[in-house]
C-alpha cells in the first residue's frame, strides 16, 4: 500500500536514527513504506540493541519543510 499526500504526490519515508547526544538524523530514504519496514527488520536482525534508536518517518519535500520553518518563525515572533 502506498500513501499519497493531498497534492497527489507519493509520500517518501526515511529511517531516522537518534543518537544519545546528537539530534536525530535520517540515515536512509525509501520510496515506499514496505521498503522502509524491510530495512527496519534488517537493522533489528543486525543489532537489536541499536534497533530501539531507529524509527520510520515520513519525509517532507523541501518546499513543505521551508513553509513549516516560515510558519514556526512567524508564530515565535507573534507569541513574544
pLDDT in tens, 14-68: 989 998 888 888 889 999 999 999 999 999 999 999 999 999 999 877 666 666 7
Is residue 73 situated within a structural domain?
yes
Q: How far apart are CA 24 and CA 64, in angstroms?
A: 19
CA atoms within 13 A on the CB side of 24: 12
Domain span at residue 32?
A: 12-78
Is residue 29 situated within a structural domain?
yes
Q: What is the pLDDT of residue 77?
A: 77
Q: Are 15 and 43 in contact (CB under 8 A)?
A: yes
Q: Is 74 left (phi over 0), alpha (psi -120 to 50) or beta?
A: alpha
Is residue 6 situated within a structural domain?
no
Strand partners, 58: 13
Higher pLDDT, 9 or 1: 9
Which pLDDT band, with edges at 50, 70 and 90, does 6 fall under? Answer: very low
37-51 per-position pLDDT tens digit: 999 999 999 999 999
Q: What is the pLDDT of residue 74?
A: 77
Amino acid at each position: 500500500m502506498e500513501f499519497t499526500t493531498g497534492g497527489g504526490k507519493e509520500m517518501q519515508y526515511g529511517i531516522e536514527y537518534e543518537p544519545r547526544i546528537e539530534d536525530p538524523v535520517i540515515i536512509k530514504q525509501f520510496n515506499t513504506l514496505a521498503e522502509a519496514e524491510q530495512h527496519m527488520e534488517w537493522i533489528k536482525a543486525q543489532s537489536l540493541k541499536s534497533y530501539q534508536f531507529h524509527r520510520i518517518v515520513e519525509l517532507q519535500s523541501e518546499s513543505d519543510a521551508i513553509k513549516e520553518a516560515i510558519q514556526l518563525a512567524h508564530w515565535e515572533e507573534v507569541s513574544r
